[in-house]
Each structure stands twice: as structure tokens, then as C-alpha cells.
Amino acid sequence: MLLCCMKTINDVFARYKKELQHIYDTNETEAITLLVISQINELSKAKIKAFPETIITTGVAEKLEDILIELKTGKPVQYVLGTTEFYGLPFLVNPSVLIPRPETEELVEWAISSVDKGQNGNILDIGTGSGCIAISLKKNLAQFDVSAIDISADAIKTAESNAALNKVDVNFIRQDILKYAEIELPKSSIIISNPPYVTLHDKTQMHTNVTDFEPHTALFVPENDPLIFYKAIADFAKVNLLPGGLLFFEINESYGEETVKMLAGKQFKNIELRKDMSGRDRMIKAVNV
């Protein structure tokens, strides 16, 4: 233990930077350190930046050191802390679920903004993981009944905990979308999904803190059939979306045009491919007819 090295907030930043430089770049390390200090010392990020000479207690220093030990293995900070934020809401996360990402927030925002005032009905989230999409939609579109499915029992358990944490009622169901003929639910006004879409080639370009820690069943698809989940969901949606109902996908940026072509081949209309804030093809909206 090098607790003597962490007496002030500045000391914490210096130690984390030194110990994590082989894993993360400077900006990532600073963001991780800021997040950890904010949660463990119960300080706002603004206050941390404004008062870097703030003294930390021995107890806090011990917790920060324990967290640093885990971070040095490459384990994502969200898993180390057990929590993250998505669309302004708190979520519990663990290695049974993907860590929610900013581009998925953009997908949620698109879905919310596409709903007409006074509209209601059913929303279905496919491959819910932590429940971040379903819960965020229910929180902001309370007039809708929201259901969500996932193949993982552990993911469903985590999602149910997150629904309780955020005080919303979502119907979580364990089901495999590739066996979509077995799924019986009321027809939906909106079906939304962030399904697995990472190919083995993509895996070689990814950070090991994703490939070594996040659940592979929620990430990877066969190299020879990268749209396997999109095709299954589209077929399910043709039967289970109401006429005029909306289908939303988060997608692999490398398969935007292929996904549009697939949806068009299944007679979806008004198909829109949208870029995320980084300028990458990342989401699609389509209308059922």
C-alpha cells in the first residue's frame, strides 16, 4: 500500500496516472480518476476540479488504492464501482451486462423524440442487458407499457434491480430472439434493440478491457453472418409491430448500408440511417407497413 502517496486529490490524480498509463491514455485516465474520486469521496466533479488540494482521509485513500488494484487488471471502472449513469439515470452494472454507452443514449433520444404527444401503446426492447434502454424509455414515456427480453438470466436479474432502483415498471422476460416464433407478446408501437454486432475482425481492434471483461454473448456475432440478430428482429417486427410502428436499431458502423438493404428487402419503409455524435453510422429507424 502506498497510502502516503495519496493525501490530496492532486496526489490521487498523480498516482492513478502513473499506475494506469500502460492501459489508458491521459484523458481516459483523468476521466476514470475523476469518476472514482467523485463516487468514493462523495464530491461533485466540479468541486474536485476546483479544489485539487482537498485533503482525503485515510479511509478514502484505502478505498482508492483497492480500486486502483482492480483497475490495473484492465477491469472497466464501471464494473469496479458497480454503477454507471445512462440518460441521466443510475444503473447497476456487472460482468453479466454490457456497460451502457453514450451512442445508445442517442438511440433512446431518437426514439423518445419520434413519439407523438398523447401517443401510447407497447414498447419492446430486445436484448435489454442492464435494462438501460427499456428503463429510460419507461421513465420518459410513462404512458407506454414497456417490455424487454434477454437470453441471459443474470442480465434479467440485473435489469429488474435497475427498474426497482429507478422506480419504473418494466416487464422483463427471458427469451432468445433467435427463437422468435416462440415469443408471444402484445403488438408494439415501437421495437428497439441494441443487439450483438461485433465481428471477430472488429474484436482485434477493440480494447482488452471490453473483450476480456464484458459478456461475449452480448457482443459477438459470426463473421459469416454479422446481421444474424438484425434479420431475426426484423422478421419478428414484421409480425409484432403495429402498422406504422417504428423499429429502432443500434448498428455496427461497418454494416449500415447492408442493414438498410436488409430492411428494405423485408418491406420496411422510410428507412433512415443516422450518424452518432462521432460521425459514424450508428443507428437506424424504419417503419412497418
Q: C-alpha distances in angstroms, 140 versus 39, 87, 108, 134, 271?
A: 26, 10, 10, 10, 24
pLDDT tens, residue by residue, 14-23 = 999 999 999 9
pLDDT for residue 207: 59
Residue ranges of the chain with per-residue pLDDT less than 70: 1-4, 197-223
Q: How far apart are CA 166 and CA 220, in angstroms?
A: 29
In the structure grid, which three cell numbers stand for residue 32, read together?
A: 476514470
pLDDT for residue 1: 45
In the structure grid, which three cell numbers stand for residue 257, read together?
A: 448500408
In the structure grid, which three cell numbers stand for residue 159, read together?
A: 435489469
Q: How far apart are CA 127 and CA 234, in angstroms?
A: 14
Q: How far apart are CA 213 and CA 193, in angstroms?
A: 22
CA angle 18, 22, 25 (to 5 degrees): 85
- Domain segments of the chain: what residues? 3-73, 96-287
pLDDT tens, residue by residue, 180-222 = 888 899 999 999 999 976 666 555 555 555 556 555 555 566 6
Q: How far apart are CA 97 and CA 253, in angstroms?
A: 21
Q: C-alpha distances in angstroms, 144 versus 118, 120, 138, 221, 229?
A: 10, 5, 7, 31, 25
Q: What is the CATH number of domain 3-73?
A: 1.10.8
Beta strand pairing call for 241-250 and 188-193: parallel
DSSP string, 129-152: TTSHHHHHHHHH-TTEEEEEEES-
In CATH terms, the fold of domain 96-287 is Rossmann fold (3.40.50)
Q: How far apart are CA 93 and CA 256, in angstroms?
A: 29
Whole-model pTM over 0.95: no
What are the backbone dihedrals phi and psi of residue 275, each rounded to the nearest 5 degrees, phi first?
Answer: -90, 155
